[in-house]
Structure 1
Amino acid sequence: MLTVDKEEAERESPKFKWVDVGLNLTEEEDEAITRIPINMSKRCQALMKQIICFSTQKGSFCHLLAAWVRRMKPIRADWLSLLKELKNLDSPFYIKVAEFSLLEDSFEANPRDYTKIIHYYGKLNQVSDAEKTLVAMRNRGFLVDQVTLTAMVQLYSKAGYHQLAEETFNDIKLLGEPLDYRSYGSMIMAYIRAGAPEKGEALLREMDSQEICAGKEVYKALLRAYSMGGDAQGANRVFSAVQIAGITPDVKLCGLLINAYTVLGESQNARLAFENMRKAGIKATDKCVALVLAAYEKEEKLNEALGFLVELEKESIMVEKEASAVLARWFKKLGVVERVGLLLNEFSAAQSLNI
């Protein structure tokens, strides 16, 4: 993070020598220069060439940027063009240019420019750099709004600083403006990561009372949290909330509901959830089949599992890799690996006679 004032840096450091990049280029540098977009302004192309050929032996990168500003007199469109290209290239110089631009009058910085840098640091889990950016934003007199604070909630959540995420979320509420689905969603995700899905669900209900719809990914994350913890009641509540919100459940959401029962070892409910999924017209995956079989295995209900397999066969649903692995493990434990085919044939014949 740039913490040194631009004018102070220029005053205390020597001028950067603008070099002719056409000389002594490496093959890699020459190729990179040919990929510079032709629709970039000439002043931007000039800086891109300098960046491609930059080395610390030539001086400070900040001095290079300062020299470019003095020579080329860029406007905001130039800065944005540079930042877009550097970001597309995943260049390590992207953040250096972004931070430097905030200090330039020609960039005409606004709050969203600071928020973008906070998002950048959030992806890298660089909390202290993001916090410094927030401080710099305030020091320059910009109002910190809901969008920026939401970015901080996301950052703290991802980094595992759940208390700070909650405090920042409360700061958003203190702004006195209606919260949007992004702010709510970010805090719900923070609670999920903190192992407190019930708090996230409470926020979901708060959103519902205000007729604010959460994104599908939020419902899915909350459902997964309950599912992996074997909280079938919680998983059911969220699954119902998904449908009330007008979101059509897909096979992944249904699989998470089935998994909640599997974790508990409730094979009857796992099978019921599986059948309800199919009745809704959702094609069963091998993962879902494996989950039902695992539930039967937990309760040692071999006959029921065999019956389930016969029904799948009637519906032309093939048992694939994941479900086969569950069966192999189970039959090996029972010591009947060599009799698997015979068992299935006998059971299938008995079922046919009953019909």
Structure 2
Amino acid sequence: MLAFSNPNCTLICKTQVFHCFHSWKQSRFTNSTNLNLLKPIILRLVCAVGDLGQMQKVEDERSKIRWVEIKPDEINDAQRNHISRLPKKMTNRCRALMKQLICFSPEKTNLSMVLAAWVRSMKPVRADWLVVLKELGNMNHPLRFEVAEFALLEESFEPNIRDYTKMIHGYAKESRLQDAENALQAMKNRSFECDQVTLTALIHMYSKAGNFNLAKDTFEQMKLLGPPLDNRAYGSMVMAFIRAGMLEDAEILLTEMEALQVYAKSEVYKAMLRAYSMNGDSVGAQRIFDSIQIAGIIPDDKICTVLINAYVGAGKSREARVAYENMRRAGILPNDKCVGLMLDVYQKENKLKEVLDFLMDLEREGIMIGKEGSEKLARWFRDLGVVEEVELVLRDYASTET
């Protein structure tokens, strides 16, 4: 991101160095007492960059850089296509930088120098930075993080805590834990205190990474902040419990939420239901299914299928049939996975007549059997040696219906 002589410097070092260096430049006429206080900072500058001469060299190079427009003959067809799709309402100064970033080649130029030249020449404000960062995000551009890191150190960007939170969340989505933690430390170095939104992003990150202890510690830290936790904070911790296989603890937390009339998002309930279903715990699955309805979430075919799967996995065929019938009474059409599960139930009980009635019901509803259901059905009838007989019966049913 920045023109450090040591390419291995992390975001935390970059932030500390540039923030402290700019602060020191702005107050170089301070008294001797303040200069003494700055000695540790100067020492860190020496350690991070190599020596103060190199830092001054970097500043000199940044001041000498000039903005150079990209010539039309330097753009290939793919780059020209990307440039043509930039928003028409984008300002010229933002469009100019986007062209540079789209055509950027690390072999030809240095990103930090390009950005510094843009700042010096175009005098951007925060709105310009946000437009560029948003467009880079929409494009999923590989330089989006480096540009964001640079922006966080620029006065014209006017960074706030939410900018750091977005950076942390972005790194978390890419599973770049160390970069996310470096961004967190950089945020703290700028005297921004962690709030509920930032800590929620951290819980989500630690949860996805399988680091349950850090997720739990962060959640406990969040509870000490004072304001009531929202459904995102609770939901992230519930997901951490689920990923750790601690379903009872996850359900206790869900119950705690419901008592506070704070309900998790549907994705959290679905994940909980799926976890119980995969374990063959039909009792737990039914409890979560009931909680889903209490939370005001209307069950769809996927939710009902997961519940039926729990009963099938537990060997409870009768309950699976009841769940299917309830789903149908509610006007929910079964998906292919659900049809396949019901075929498993009928096959296990060896109820050929019932499965024919089941198939005719699907036919009357205009529900086509998909790949999974068809394969299971063909395999079962083949094992029974009644493929031809079933075809005759189906034809008879079809003729009576017409």
TM-score, normalised to structure 1, is 0.89
Alignment of 1:143-158 (within 5 A): 143-158=193-208
Matched, 1:233 2:278: no
Residue type at the aligned position of 2:178: S
Residues 61-112 of structure 1: per-residue CA shift (max 9 Å, x gap): 1122122222222211111111111112221121111111111111111111
Residues 209-256 of structure 1: per-residue CA shift (max 9 Å, x gap): 111121112111111111121110011001111112222211111111
Alignment of 1:44-193 (within 5 A): 44-193=94-243
Residue type at the aligned position of 2:340: A
Which residue among 249, 256, 260 is the counterpart of 2:310?
260
Instruction: Give yes or no for contact 1:111–1:137 (8 Å, CA) kept in 2.
Output: yes
Residue type at the aligned position of 2:179: D
Secondary structure, counterpart of 1:57 in structure 2: coil
Instruction: Give yes or no for contact 1:47–1:68 (8 Å, CA) kept in 2.
Output: yes
How many residues align? The count is 348
**Offset at 1:339?**
4.0
TM-aligned CA distance change 1:254 to 1:45, over 3 Å: same
Q: CA RMSD in A?
A: 2.5
Residue type at the aligned position of 2:157: F
Instruction: Give yes or no for contact 2:277–2:285 (8 Å, CA) kept in 1.
Output: yes
2:386 & 2:108 partners in 1: Cα distance? 74
- Segment of structure 1 superposing worse, 76-85 or 291-300: 291-300
**Offset at 1:31?**
4.0
TM-aligned CA distance change 1:283 to 1:311, over 3 Å: closer
Residues 164-212 of structure 1: per-residue CA shift (max 9 Å, x gap): 2122111111212211000011111122222222221111100011111
Residue type at the aligned position of 1:11: Q
**Offset at 1:303?**
4.8
- Name the counterpart of 1:243: 293
Which residue among 32, 37, 49 is the counterpart of 2:87?
37
Instruction: Give yes or no for contact 2:67–2:121 (8 Å, CA) kept in 1.
Output: no
- Name the counterpart of 2:347: 297
2:184 & 2:334 partners in 1: Cα distance? 48
- Name the counterpart of 1:326: 376
TM-score, normalised to structure 2, is 0.79
Residue type at the aligned position of 1:18: W
What runs of 5+ residues in structure 1 fail to find an aligned partner? none
- Segment of structure 1 superposing worse, 309-318 or 287-296: 309-318
2:148 & 2:120 partners in 1: Cα distance? 18
Query: Which structure's relative contact order is higher, taking Cα pairs within 8 Å and 6+ residues apart?
Result: 2
Instruction: Give yes or no for contact 2:69–2:96 (8 Å, CA) kept in 1.
Output: no
1:36 & 1:291 partners in 2: Cα distance? 48
2:84 & 2:374 partners in 1: Cα distance? 53
Secondary structure, counterpart of 1:59 in structure 2: coil
Identity %: 54
2:83 & 2:266 partners in 1: Cα distance? 43
Secondary structure, counterpart of 2:74 in structure 1: coil
Which residue among 228, 249, 263 is the counterpart of 1:199?
249
Instruction: Give yes or no for contact 2:336–2:370 (8 Å, CA) kept in 1.
Output: yes
Instruction: Give yes or no for contact 1:17–1:58 (8 Å, CA) kept in 2.
Output: no
